[in-house]
């Protein structure tokens, strides 16, 4: 029951993404590749010693924003 609102918001965002993109398969695959590469970067940063959690939200942040998202998460882990 606690996941109803995030699920609805996520579904609406996915629908808007699919509705606005011409090359939806290409953009979804690009997002997936970006999220996988970002997850790998998060794992490497954890191995080095940075306290970055590997969860849904950090993967989405890195997947959507790319390298600036990863650097932003890294800066937040350093300063917070």
Tell me whether residue 9 is in a domain: no
In a domain, 58, yes or no: yes
> Model's pTM, two decimal places?
0.64
In a domain, 52, yes or no: yes
Q: Which tokens sit at 70?
A: 């990863």
Per-residue pLDDT band for 29 (boundaries 50, 70, 90) equals confident
Q: In this structure, is residue 13 part of a structural domain?
A: no
Number of domains forming the structure of the chain: 1
Q: Does residue 4 lie in a domain region?
A: no
Q: Is residue 1 part of a domain?
A: no
Per-residue pLDDT tens over the stretch 40-58: 888 898 898 888 888 888 8
Q: How confident is the model at residue 13 (pLDDT cuts 50, 70, 90)?
A: confident
Report residue 10 CA to chain centroid gap: 13
Q: Is the residue at 61 inside a domain?
A: yes
Q: Which range of residues forms the domain containing residue 56?
A: 22-79
- Separation CA 36–CA 30 (nearest Å): 10
* Residue 42: exposure state from Cβ atoms within 10 A (0-12, 13-18, ≥19): buried
Show the tokens assigned to 16. Answer: 């808007």
Can you tell me the mean pLDDT for 55-67?
87
């Amino acid at each position: 029951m606690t996941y109803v609102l995030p699920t609805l918001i996520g579904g609406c965002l996915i629908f808007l993404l699919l509705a606005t993109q011409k090359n939806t398969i290409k953009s979804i695959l690009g997002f997936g590749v970006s999220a996988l590469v970002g997850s790998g970067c998060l794992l490497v940063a954890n191995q080095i010693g940075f306290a970055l959690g590997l969860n849904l939200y950090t993967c989405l942040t890195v997947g959507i924003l790319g390298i600036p998202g990863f650097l932003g998460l890294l800066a937040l882990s350093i300063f917070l």
